[in-house]
Chains A and B, each alone.
Chain A
Amino acid sequence: MTNIEKYNNAFVNSLEITEDRLAGLKYQDIEAWDSVGHMTLVAAIEDAFDIMLDTDDIIDFNSYEKGKEILSKEEYGVAF
């Protein structure tokens, strides 16, 4: 499975949405991506890539695109 597939799966499974809605999706755009949903999403992403996000990054992670940018940081090393 590619990194983008893993990333998308984390969203789809955690927030129960379809893949075609991911582009442009922002925190709290949908009911499922509230603060509790956010922690579920973070857990899914951490498990998928075997990483642990910094608290500041969890706070900054406010959109589908921003998440990719954060994961691309050197400390996480996820290339898309």
Chain B
Amino acid sequence: MGLLDGKVCFVTGAGRGIGEETVRRFAEEGAIVYGTDLINGSMDESFGKFCTQYKTEVIPMYFDVTDETASKSAIMQIKREQGRLDVLVNNAGIMQDNVIGMISYELMKKVFDVNVFAVLQITQLAAKLMMRQRSGSIVNISSIVGSEGAAGQTVYSASKGAVAAMTKAASKELSPYGIRVNAVAPGLINTDLFRAIGEKKIQENLSHVRMGRLGEPIDVANVITFLASDMSAYVTGEIIGVDGETHV
């Protein structure tokens, strides 16, 4: 029996990295999983594999999370097909930044549109279903830089700090409805997004990780799975670090 047997889950940014691994872990634990990504067809192969391997439904949806109408349609599709939504993972995010003095308004808006406003919007939509069933778990993806900050990452840090604050506020508002809201705050995770900074920078960054290695997507996905499951039934409003004791 899996930790998420029969639960209906929705994961944004599911095409790669932490999102894809979360979808895989959820399927492995018996969940019915809907995953979104931007690029048409990009999840078809992996999701097909998960379906076969774990004998459950893993359904790809392709849309931009900043598109309110598309997000609404996705939640409606889940409602019509499954009648409920048990878990939302707000994983979709972008990491773009610049040094202070070179941060354009356009950049700020782009990062906040995806990392903050879309999270709020999809949370509102999902919460409407969860409030009716008086249960649910929402897991947001913050970051270690959301509380600690990082030089050259002012915009990204601010956006992830907003996610942490949103998590705390939403947990207070939604707990009377039996809805839990938590976040994970990953440190340095071995994803394509992180590897894009280059090998030299990666080695520099590793010296700040006391466990001496980068985190893997599964390290984060395991904590998300715990927060999604009834194993964490009395946990809400928490921001859980997944960083191997990293100092930024």
- Residues of A whose CB lies within 8 Å of any CB of B are 39, 42-43, 46-47, 50-52, 54-55
Contacts and interface: CB of A to CB of B under 8 A. Distances in A.
Contact of B124 (A47, A50, A55): A55
A22 B79 CA distance: 29
Interface stretch (B35-43, B56-64, B125-133, B195-203): B125-133
Contacts of A46: 128
19 contacts: A39-B128, A39-B131, A42-B128, A43-B128, A43-B131, A43-B132, A46-B128, A50-B80, A51-B76, A52-B72, A52-B75, A52-B76, A52-B79, A52-B125, A52-B128, A54-B68, A55-B68, A55-B121, A55-B124
Interface residues of B, number: 12
A44 to B, nearest CB: 9
A43 B128 CA distance: 7
- Prevailing SS type, chain A contact patch: helix
Contacts of B79: 52
Contacts, number: 21
Interface string B72-106: 10011001100000000000000000000000000
Contacts of B72: 52, 54
Interface centre among A39, A42, A52 (most CB of B within 10 A): A52
Contacts of A54: 68, 72
A30 to B, nearest CB: 21
A18 B199 CA distance: 69
Nearest to A39: B131
B128 A47 contact: no
Contacts of B132: 43, 47
A47 B79 CA distance: 10
Contacts of A55: 68, 121, 124
Nearest to B72: A52
Given A52-B128, A55-B121, 8 more contacts: A43-B131, A46-B128, A47-B132, A52-B72, A52-B76, A54-B68, A55-B68, A55-B124
Interface in B116-147: 121, 124-125, 128, 131-132
